[in-house]
């Protein structure tokens, strides 16, 4: 009798876990589907770095992004100010299943550096965002588990655990709070490889474009282990600009202006 009850309990637990994984995957697929079809975009934004003591420094950047059929997005970030980072260019080729490809052009050295997979957990140009954080969200990069419902700013959200499948990921897991109506992330908690709380990304000031696509104009990344933070503030955003795949070639980074 005990053995039968034990087996029945394990079977129910397995079914419950399967249902949680299935719902987590469904939420991720809906999130990706609602953010597809925008083609290309351009934005201008400020990056505000704040130290543990409250000191701040600001950088100004431009971002171009191209949606690629049957693959991850391609993105290009150009630093305009201040002078010590002016001309620095970051290029990202996201992929659905394979490892992302990333390059950083350093004008002072006049050379392009390839960001190796095992180094993508490192800080992006001194910020609290890692190189890994800058890749596009792709369903194939994670295993999902639905954790339940919650509320953020009076909005109902789905709480979903996202476990990276990349062995070189800097995170053991992420926990995302996804708006249940708009399917956009309002908050993401990041846990380091030891499972300790590392960072929290809070996304606010969402604005609607083309009557379909939501974009956060204020993104705050708090690092709980260092006491530092980085804020990304979007000042200009537009879709459907003239971009081609050739504009995202790593061999041309030294010519980007």
Q: What is the DSSP letter of 55?
A: -
pLDDT of 26 strictly over 80? yes
Q: What is the dihedral of CA 157, 161, 164, 165, to 10 degrees?
A: -120
Task: Write the CA distances from 180 to 34, 75, 201, 207, 213, integer angstroms.
Answer: 12, 28, 18, 17, 15
DSSP class of residue 123 equals B
Beta bridge partners of 123: 130
- pLDDT tens track for 121-157: 999 999 999 999 999 999 999 999 999 999 999 999 9
Predicted confidence band of residue 17 (pLDDT cuts 50, 70, 90): confident
Please name which of 120, 227, 135 lies closest in space to residue 171, comparing C-alpha atoms: 120
Cα-trace Rg, the chain? 20
Domains assigned to the chain:
32-255 (2.50.20.10)
Q: Is the pLDDT of residue 245 over 80?
A: yes
As a whole number of angstroms, the distance between CA 145 and CA 162 comes to 7
State which H helix or E strand residue 30 sits in.
Answer: helix 2-34
Distances (CA, A) of 117 to 77, 188, 237: 19, 22, 30
């Amino acid at each position: 009798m005990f053995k039968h009850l034990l087996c029945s309990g394990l079977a129910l637990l397995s079914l419950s876990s399967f249902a949680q994984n299935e719902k987590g995957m469904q939420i991720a697929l809906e999130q990706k589907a609602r953010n597809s079809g925008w083609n290309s975009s351009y934005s201008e934004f400020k990056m505000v770095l704040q130290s543990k003591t409250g000191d701040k420094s600001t950088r100004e950047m431009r971002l171009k992004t191209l949606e690629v059929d049957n693959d991850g997005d391609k993105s290009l970030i150009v630093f305009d100010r201040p002078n010590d980072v002016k001309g620095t260019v970051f290029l990202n080729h996201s992929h659905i299943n394979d490892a992302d490809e990333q390059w950083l052009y350093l004008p002072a050295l006049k050379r392009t550096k390839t960001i190796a997979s095992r180094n993508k957990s490192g800080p992006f140009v001194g910020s609290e965002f890692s190189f890994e954080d800058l890749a596009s969200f792709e369903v194939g990069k994670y295993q999902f588990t639905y954790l339940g419902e919650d509320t953020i700013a009076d909005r109902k959200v789905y709480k979903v655990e996202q476990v990276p499948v990349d062995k070189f990921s800097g995170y053991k897991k992420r926990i995302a709070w996804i708006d249940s109506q708009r399917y956009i992330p309002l908050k993401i908690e990041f846990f380091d490889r030891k499972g300790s709380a590392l960072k929290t990304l809070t996304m606010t000031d969402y604005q609607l474009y083309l009557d379909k696509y939501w974009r956060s104009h204020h993104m705050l990344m708090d690092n709980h282990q260092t006491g530092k933070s980085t804020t990304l503030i979007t000042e200009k955003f537009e879709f459907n600009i003239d971009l081609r795949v050739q504009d995202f070639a790593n061999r041309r980074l030294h010519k980007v202006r």
